């Protein structure tokens, strides 16, 4: 917890001043504000845990190597029937207009 306050470069005097300002602003609603803040943190953690579970269930359990993936792409196809007939031309020329 100290590292969080060190990030903001707050010393003990500044924290006491902020605490006094918080009590003056919120007064009797301070426990209610703390309760809502706690519920918000719990809901946030549940949401993060749900996202992590969703990512874990969608990812494959066994890693697939690139070679296996390439072999799956290059599977042999069944032979296909190819028609090799030449186009037919008519011997009679079209009528002249």
Quick: pLDDT tens for 7-59.
677 788 998 998 898 888 878 888 888 899 899 999 999 988 888 777 777 65
* Residue 57 counted as domain residue: yes
**Residue 69 domain-assigned?**
no
pLDDT given at position 38: 92
Which pLDDT score is estimated for 77?
A: 74
Please report whether residue 83 resides in a domain: no
**Within a domain: 26:** yes
Query: Among 26, 48, 21, which residue's Cα sits nearest to residue 37?
Result: 26
pTM score, two decimals?
0.37
Q: Which residues contact 92 (CB under 8 A, 6 or more apart)?
A: none
- In-domain check, residue 76: no
Question: Range of 31's domain?
Answer: 2-61
Going 15 to 16 to 22 to 25, the CA torsion angle's sign is negative
Report if residue 34 sits inside a domain: yes
Number of domains forming the structure of the chain: 1
Q: Is residue 10 part of a domain?
A: yes
Residues across the chain: 97
């Amino acid at each position: 917890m100290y590292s969080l306050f060190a990030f903001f470069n707050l010393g003990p005097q500044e924290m006491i001043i902020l605490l006094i300002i918080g009590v003056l602003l919120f007064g009797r609603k301070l426990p209610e504000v703390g309760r809502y803040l706690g519920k918000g943190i719990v809901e946030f953690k549940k949401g993060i845990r749900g996202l992590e579970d969703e990512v874990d269930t969608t990812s494959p359990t066994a890693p697939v190597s690139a070679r296996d993936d390439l072999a799956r792409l290059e599977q042999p196809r069944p032979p296909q029937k190819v028609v090799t007939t030449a186009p037919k031309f008519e011997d009679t020329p079209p009528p002249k207009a």
